[in-house]
Amino acid sequence: MKLKFSKMHGLGNDFMVIDGVRQTVSLSPEHIRELGDRHFGIGFDQLLLVEPAHQPENDFCYRIYNNDGSEVQQCGNGARCFVKFVIEQQLTAKRAIRVETARGVIVPEMDLTGRIVVNMGIPRFTPQEIPFLADTAALAYPIMLSGKPYQIAALSMGNPHAVLRVEDLATAEVATLGPVLESHPSFPERVNAGFMQVIKRNEIALRVYERGAGETLACGTGACAAVVAGIRQGWLDHEVLVHARGGDLTIRWQGEGHAVMMSGPAVTVFTGEIEIGKAS
């Protein structure tokens, strides 16, 4: 099976984006792992598959796969690349796109200057919605990681996030605590582990050890989760500049019951074609 694709990134969080509207695409988790291999395949953090919408009021469906082959519910940097992709590929004449994901509809929009804003939906906090094993919802939860006590925030942006505040991101133990938190038994579907340093009330720095992908250069839903957690704790204002290792995002949230708004760039690196089953 030959597949046309675009290689894209949002602040260095990189994607293989496939048009599943004009192509018939059937990918097994093994195919995804092969394609995601940075030596024997294309290489990506996530694969994004664009499909026709299931509901008439929506424009597309978009499926997200981590490079370990797991299908997940949401991807913030991917949403910006998605809207750039469907416009560049002339799959739509719209600029604001209603996209079905595994956990609800999001609305990314690219204005005429190329700036992209995404309505990322309303964050969820009940343990059942995250999912997170706790008796009741709380602003922060005690958790043991590698034998030491920590406090984390836990919430869902459609996908599960844990946020740990650190004093200095440069010395944060992302490589050791990230995988421990990602697969902690309190998160039955695993979790994206964010490490947040508060610089000012409207500025943070963030590193995310992503579920199913390891540390990435940026994580859009992770940036949303960190800002939401910081606002709820009283550390941050309602519009925050987020410094990821790959660049900056702006996140806005007006509080409980409101959607999180994310704005940032998306880049197409190249387009290509690959024969499936010959990636390795």
Ligand X SMILES: N[C@H](CCC[C@H](N)C(=O)O)C(=O)O
As annotated, the active-site residues are 75, 219
* Residue 67 in marked binding region: no
Reported as half-sphere exposure (CB side, CA atoms, 13 A), residue 101 has a value of 25
Choose between 43 and 201: whose C-beta lies nearer to ligand X: 43
Q: Is 42 helix (H, G, I), strand (E, B) or coil?
A: coil
* 46 lies in the binding site for ligand X (CB under 6 A): yes
State yes or no: cis peptide before 131, omega within 30 of 0: yes
CA 38 to chain centre: 20
- In the block, tokens 């509080």 appear at 255
Contact flag: residue 9 with ligand X (CB under 6 A): no
Q: Closest distance between ligand X and the C-beta of residue 93, in Å?
A: 26
CB of 112 to ligand X, least distance (A): 24
State which of residues 219, 226, 240, 249 lies at the interface with ligand X (CB under 6 A): 219
* Of the candidates 59, 64, 37, the residue with the CA atom closest to the CA atom of residue 48: 64
121: contact with ligand X by CB under 6 A: no
User: Which residue number, 201 or 247, has a Cβ lying nearer to ligand X?
Assistant: 247
Q: Is 36 in the site for ligand X (CB under 6 A)?
A: no
Query: Cβ closer to ligand X: 103 or 201?
Result: 103
58 is an annotated ligand-binding site residue: no
228 to 267, contacts with ligand X by CB under 6 A? none
Cα torsion angle, 228, 231, 237, 243, sign: negative
Q: Would you count residue 192 as binding ligand X (CB under 6 A)?
A: yes
Which of residues 3, 33, 66, 236 is near ligand X by CB under 6 A?
66
Spatial distance between the Cα atoms of 85 and 43, rounded to a whole number of angstroms? 18
Question: Taking a C-beta distance cutoff of 8 angstroms, is the pair 27, 106 a contact?
Answer: no
Does residue 156 interact with ligand X by CB under 6 A? no
Instruction: Give the pair of three-digit tokens for residue 18.
Output: 């496939």
Encoding tokens for residue 96? 């604001």
- The footprint of ligand X (CB under 6 A) covers 13, 45-46, 64, 66, 72, 75-78, 159, 192, 210-213, 216, 219-222
